[in-house]
Chain A
Amino acid sequence: AQTVTQSQPEMSVQEAETVTLSCTYDTSESDYYLFWYKQPPSRQMILVIRQEAYKQQNATENRFSVNFQKAAKSFSLKISDSQLGDAAMYFCAYRSAKGSNYGQNFVFGPGTRLSVLP
């Protein structure tokens, strides 16, 4: 079974600075997706960024980028120019590319709580 580990329960960053959140996962599959989701105090889960395992290029979305190391099974999230609105829980998630029951193929990490200091 796949597992997702986030070794940093809490992180903090100064406004306008850069922070990196770590995520490692374990799988025997070669084809899968990786995601970072953000959950602010409003509870809404918001997709931040996704990465397909077959793509070597790291995904980027504005101030958010990932460092995807497939051999090391590592998928870190870098937030540049941090803003107060970035404060939230961040969940790393793995999803198999196989099967039709996609929801059950999602595995979420335990989360990292990010605080942004003014």
Chain B
Amino acid sequence: SAVISQKPSRDICQRGTSLTIQCQVDSQVTMMFWYRQQPGQSLTLIATANQGSEATYESGFVIDKFPISRPNLTFSTLTVSNMSPEDSSIYLCSADRAAEAFFGQGTRLTVV
């Protein structure tokens, strides 16, 4: 299995500000993934982050709102920009190994 450390675990932010979430994997992985999980709901893929190239975004998610960095094969960040209360959610990073998905601990974001 892979170990993914994600931080912060939670934050309360003012609307209009930005928050950057970090994920560190304990070994090199080709792709990392960012999901949003709104309260009481399932996971929705935001984007796929490859090292050395721009992230690939799913329908409904744009780079200006959710810029992603992937500077090396063990690390990625997701920024939630110009936040509004609608961005209040859990954000999870994930990586694959042997066709299984492993997840970080999640970041619970509350925008006030």
Tell me if A35 and B48 are in contact (CB < 8 A).
no
Nearest B residue to A46 by beta-carbon distance? Answer: B103
Tell me if B101 and A104 are in contact (CB < 8 A).
no
Tell me if B31 and A45 are in contact (CB < 8 A).
no
B33 at the interface (CB under 8 A from A): yes
Q: How many A-B residue pairs lie within 8 Å, measured between CB atoms? A: 59
Tell me if B106 and A103 are in contact (CB < 8 A).
no
Tell me if A103 and B101 are in contact (CB < 8 A).
yes
- Chain A residues closer than 8 Å to B90, beta-carbon distance: 43
Nearest B residue to A103 by beta-carbon distance? Answer: B33
Distance in Å from the Cβ of A27 to the closest Cβ of chain B? 16
B108 at the interface (CB under 8 A from A): yes
Distance in Å from the Cβ of B73 to the closest Cβ of chain A? 15
Per the bound structure, the CA–CA distance linking A47 and B4 in Å amounts to: 14
Known: A102-B31, A102-B96, A103-B31. A43 touches B45 (CB 8 A): no
B94 at the interface (CB under 8 A from A): yes
Interface SS majority for chain A: mixed
Distance in Å from the Cβ of A57 to the closest Cβ of chain B? 17
- Chain A residues closer than 8 Å to B106, beta-carbon distance: 43-45
Per the bound structure, the CA–CA distance linking A91 and B45 in Å amounts to: 15
Known: A33-B99, A45-B103. A101 touches B48 (CB 8 A): yes
Some 22 contacts from A to B, beta carbons below 8 A apart, are: A33-B99, A35-B100, A43-B105, A43-B106, A43-B108, A44-B105, A45-B92, A45-B101, A50-B100, A95-B101, A97-B99, A101-B31, A101-B48, A101-B56, A102-B31, A102-B96, A103-B31, A103-B33, A103-B96, A104-B48, A106-B101, A110-B42
Taking beta carbons and an 8 Å cutoff, which residues of B are in contact with A?
A: 1, 31, 33, 41-43, 45, 48, 56, 58, 90, 92, 94, 96, 99-103, 105-106, 108
